[in-house]
Amino acid sequence: MRPLAEAQRDVLAAVPPLPVIESPLHEALGLGLARPVLAPHDVPPFTNSAMDGYAVQGADVGSAPVTLRLLEDVPAGYVARARVSPGTAIKIMTGAPMPGGADTVVKVEVTEPEGEGAVRILAATEAGTAVRPAGSDLAAGAPVFEAGERLTPRHVAVLASLGVAPAVRRRPRAAVLSTGDEVLPPDAPVLGPGQIRDTNRPLLISMLERFGAEVVDLGIVGDDAPALRAALAEGAEEADMVITSGGVSMGEYDLVKTILAELGTIDFWKVAMQPAKPFAFGHIDGTPLLGLPGNPVSVMVAFEQFARPALLHMMGCTAVFRPLAAARAAEGWRSDPAKTVFTRVVTEMVDGVVYARRSGAQMSNVLSSLARADAFAVVPVGTGLVEEGDWMTLEMFRSPESRSASEALDG
Ligand code: AMP
Ligand code: MG
């Protein structure tokens, strides 16, 4: 059996980078930056007020009360014509440019109007208060993001503030195929003897859509050589990655394996992981193919451990694995010491510590315990027994407090 980390490394090393494009900002969410971003100008672009209040000279408001003569009003988006000089103030709104001569803003809450043309300052205010200097967030020319960062909504906001349309790697296209004579479309009204509904393709398509890939749906192909050949060739032609499920395990009817091997350069691996031990990886006409096992929980685990990291690597992203969290076992269980075991768990937060217990049956066909789970506990090779209280690592889908309310932030 291959260690999981080694198998992951081999997959990442063998997937080609996607082409670089200049993307409109609104289409770049989830993509990988192909070049570093430097700030083309200061952010904020001009020195401005952090408060609604009065722009003054700090020397005038070191002690209070004091009355200042009012020169003008500046709302956001306008520039004061007057200059603040000793003994004067300009009424200013949050985000409006600081008028010349002013170095301090006194917030409106500690002032009161005095007749038409004056304001009374009621609280002493330190010089420099409530002023946001030009470039105090990002100075012109400063490095903002490195190549390889994946664009989140937060990145998109920063790029918007800079007016930058980023250079990114193209959005990947992934082709998805279910195999097996027993597999029927999910909307099949009745199941005949021995038949099941296709869960893998809906699972993969949903994960890919949330991830932000384009999906080419190759449907369900029975254990039929010409149909399988045609579908795989179409996938390799149309997509940047082909993902199949079923037909790669040991000792079964090995039509899928035969066709895969015949069409491309495909290896069949036994990875030291559970679920998802059998795994096929290779290329058809230069397009990477990931042959996932048939059982649905294996499909999710293999997608998370191989397909998603491979797609991120193709997108030029530096960080390709999910963030991990530390947790303690709320109960004990046996684990296979020869494998990295992805155990479905529910979590609970007690005094700031996350506790995990199994979410139900752990066989690789059992989807209900997967849907209930908040995380995979990643039980490493060498651990034969998880004991109550042991610290371990989780790949979280959602946090204990937000069960059924919110899933992990990005796809
Ligand atoms: P296989 O590796 O093709 O023998 O499949 C292993 C198990 O997964 C069998 O019980 C299959 O019926 C099941 N399976 C294969 N493909 C799917 C699918 N698309 N949806 C649900 N179960 C599947
Ligand atoms: Mg099969």
Domain boundaries, the chain: 4-18+172-318, 22-40+143-168, 48-132, 324-395
Which residue from 177, 181, 183, 224 has its CB within 8 A of the most atoms of ligand 1, so it is best to mutate? 183
| Angle between helices 225-238 and 255-263 in degrees, nearest 10 | 50
Using the mean position of ligand 1's atoms as its centre, give its distance from the Cα of residue 295 in Å: 5
- The pLDDT score that the predictor gives to residue 406 is 58
- CATH code given to domain 324-395: 2.40.340.10
Which residue from 177, 200, 207 has its CB within 8 A of the most atoms of ligand 1, so it is best to mutate? 200
* Ligand 1, CB within 6 Å, residue ranges: 178, 180, 182-183, 196, 198-201, 245-247, 249, 252, 293-296
Count of C-beta atoms within a 10 Å radius of residue 98: 25
Using the mean position of ligand 1's atoms as its centre, give its distance from the Cα of residue 168 in Å: 37
The residues that bridge with 89 in the sheet, in sequence order, are 70
Atom of ligand 1 nearest to the CA of 182: 12
CATH superfamily of 22-40+143-168: Molybdopterin biosynthesis moea protein, domain 2 (3.90.105.10)
- The pLDDT score that the predictor gives to residue 407 is 64
Quick check: do 22-40+143-168 and 324-395 share a fold?
no
Using the mean position of ligand 1's atoms as its centre, give its distance from the Cα of residue 293 in Å: 7
pLDDT means over runs of 10, the chain (411 residues): 97 98 96 98 98 98 98 95 98 98 98 96 98 98 98 97 97 97 97 98 97 98 93 97 91 75 90 95 96 97 98 98 95 98 96 96 98 96 98 91 57 68
CA distance 29 to 185: 32
Using the mean position of ligand 1's atoms as its centre, give its distance from the Cα of residue 13 in Å: 29
Check if the beta carbon of residue 24 is closer than 8 Å to that of residue 156. Answer: no
**Nearest ligand to the C-alpha atom of residue 194:** 1
Closest residue by CA, ligand 1 atom 11? 294
Using the mean position of ligand 2's atoms as its centre, give its distance from the Cα of residue 232 in Å: 16
**Which secondary-structure segment (H or E) carries 227?**
helix 225-238
Residue 40 C-alpha from the chain's centroid: 26
CA distance 122 to 117: 17
Atom of ligand 1 nearest to the CA of 248: 2
Q: Which residues contact 240 (CB under 8 A, 6 or more apart)?
A: 18, 172, 173, 174, 287, 288, 314
- The pLDDT score that the predictor gives to residue 409 is 47
- The pLDDT score that the predictor gives to residue 251 is 58
Which residue from 243, 255, 365 has its CB within 8 A of the most atoms of ligand 1, so it is best to mutate? 365
Residue ranges in 215-290 assigned as alpha helix (H):
225-238, 255-263
Using the mean position of ligand 2's atoms as its centre, give its distance from the Cα of residue 65 in Å: 83
Q: CATH top-level class for 48-132?
A: mainly beta
Closest residue by CA, ligand 1 atom 14? 294
Q: Is it true that domain 4-18+172-318 has CATH number 1.20.120.450?
A: no
- Global pTM reads 0.94
